[in-house]
C-alpha cells in the first residue's frame, strides 16, 4: 500500500476562499438543512386540518355508536368522543412536528406538554366509557 500524505488546510485559507467566492459573484450559501420552509409549514397545517376533519367525523360516529349500541348516556358518549378526538388530534400534531424538525421538537418541554395532553385525553376517554350513566 502506497503512503499518502495528508495535508490539513490552514484555518485562514478556508475563510479567505469562501469570502473570495462570495465576493466574486458565487452562489449564496444554502439554508441550513434543518430550517423549516414556508411551504413545509403550509403543507403541515393542511395535513393537520384534514386530520382534524377526519377525527371529528370519527368522534361523531363513536358517540352515536356508544349511545345506540352500548346504551351509554348521550352526555357520557359525547365526552368519550371528545376525549378520543383530543387524543387523536394531539398525536397528529405531535407527529407533524416530529416530521418537520425532530431535533427541535423532541425537546423535553414539547414532550412534557404533549404527553400530559395525551394522558389527560386518555383519562377523559376511559372515564367517560366507564361511567354508568
DSSP letter (8 states) at residue 107: S
Does 11 map to a domain?
no
Query: What cell was used for 106?
Result: 423532541
Does 81 map to a domain?
yes
How many CB atoms neighbour CB 25 within 10 A? 6
Radius of gyration of the chain (CA): 26
The reported pTM is 0.73
Residue 35's pLDDT band, with cuts at 50, 70 and 90, is confident
d(CA 107, CA 94): 12
Query: Average pLDDT of 81-101?
Result: 96
Query: Average pLDDT of 98-106?
Result: 91
* Number of compact structural domains in the chain: 1
Longest pairwise C-alpha distance within the chain: 84
Does 9 map to a domain?
no
Q: Cβ neighbours of residue 94 under 8 Å, at least 6 residues apart?
A: 110, 114
Indicate the average pLDDT of the chain: 86
Q: What pLDDT score does 132 carry?
A: 77
Q: Quick: pLDDT tens for 37-76.
A: 999 999 999 999 999 999 999 999 999 999 999 999 999 9
Does 105 map to a domain?
yes
Amino acid at each position: 500500500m502506497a503512503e499518502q500524505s495528508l495535508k490539513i488546510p490552514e484555518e485562514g485559507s478556508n475563510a479567505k476562499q469562501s469570502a473570495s467566492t462570495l465576493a466574486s459573484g458565487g452562489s449564496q450559501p444554502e439554508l441550513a438543512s434543518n430550517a423549516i420552509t414556508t411551504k413545509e409549514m403550509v403543507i403541515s397545517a393542511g395535513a393537520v386540518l384534514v386530520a382534524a376533519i377526519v377525527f371529528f367525523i370519527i368522534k361523531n360516529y363513536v358517540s352515536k355508536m356508544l349511545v345506540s349500541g352500548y346504551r351509554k348516556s348521550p352526555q357520557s358518549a359525547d365526552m368519550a368522543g371528545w376525549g378520543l378526538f383530543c387524543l387523536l388530534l394531539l398525536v397528529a400534531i405531535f407527529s407533524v412536528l416530529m416530521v418537520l424538525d425532530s431535533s427541535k421538537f423532541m425537546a423535553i418541554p414539547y414532550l412534557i406538554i404533549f404527553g400530559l395532553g395525551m394522558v389527560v385525553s386518555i383519562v377523559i376517554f376511559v372515564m367517560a366509557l366507564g361511567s354508568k350513566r
